[in-house]
Structure 1
Amino acid sequence: MEAYFNPIAMLVAAFSALVVGFIWYNPKVFGNAWIKSAGLSETELKGGNMVKIFGLALLFAFMLSSALPGIVIHQAGALSLVGGDPTKALPSYDVFISDYANAFRTFKHGALHGVLTGIFVVLPILGTNALFERKGAKYIFINSGYWIVTLAIMGGIICVWK
């Protein structure tokens, strides 16, 4: 189980969300467009408690990264089929895992599942919220784009790290 749920990989993936955010929301990238589409001002942004904001952002990113192994590592699905305890599995489980232990354990494959998670989970959630908040398409695409890229990187890290 430890091979699929690696807390160090999850922590690195969580930090990657902050790194991507520093780049994505930089004024030279999408920062200025995001500020305008969110209806915020520079003054409002500077008035926040940055320790609280970044601390909670890191916590939330870690929570998200802890959900990703079940999405990006197929072997975790096989583990769930035996109730999470391989010692209680049928002998066929050990044969299956020995044959497929490293199948699809690449950065590219994890990134693919991260992108799909971003498109089919995050985009609809953020899009729905934004519609009710009366935000425009630019707001939806900037924020969803960030999460699609971030989940791709997080998924790649978690999938490849054994």
Structure 2
Amino acid sequence: MVESDVGPVTDMDARLFGVDCWPRQLFMDELAAPKTRRYIVAEAPAAPGGGDGGTTIVGYAGLMCVPPVADIQTIGVLPEFEGRGIARAMMVELIGEARRRGALDMLLEVSSTNPRAQDLYRRFGFEHIHTRRRYYRDGSDGLVMRLTLAGAADPEPDTKDPS
């Protein structure tokens, strides 16, 4: 992710997460900390008649890594692009980056109302380790999940995964 991606990503984040979305400045602050952060975007060809015929951002994800722990800060894919392996590919990249940076464990929080994401994380080997009651502004619980990277195989979840 580069600075010019922040506008479209902020708009997408608002669409995906509503009251729990990040403000633009938070994405800018995250990009300003490359020693501990890594943000990526997934792109797809722009829709026909959509201007220059280039690409459009359809997903994004971010990682904070302060060894020995890495934390997935955010991940999102536009609903119309779900089921194409985009989230899975971004997870593979984030887990690889965490390993390259020396993390032994990886954490994330996911809403208790998002079973599709929970299933994706479980397929990668994440385990639910704690529940933060009413963690999100919409009142849903935050499920803290952990993946132990030390000694774990490289991530290659079930290829039948529709995410």
User: Fold conserved (TM > 0.5)?
Assistant: no
Higher-helix-fraction structure: 1
* Structure ranking higher in strand proportion: 2
Instruction: Please classify the TM superposition score into its range, dividing by the shorter chain length.
Output: under 0.3
TM-score (norm 2): 0.27
- Highest Rg: 1 or 2? 1
TM-score for the superposition, normalised by structure 1 = 0.27
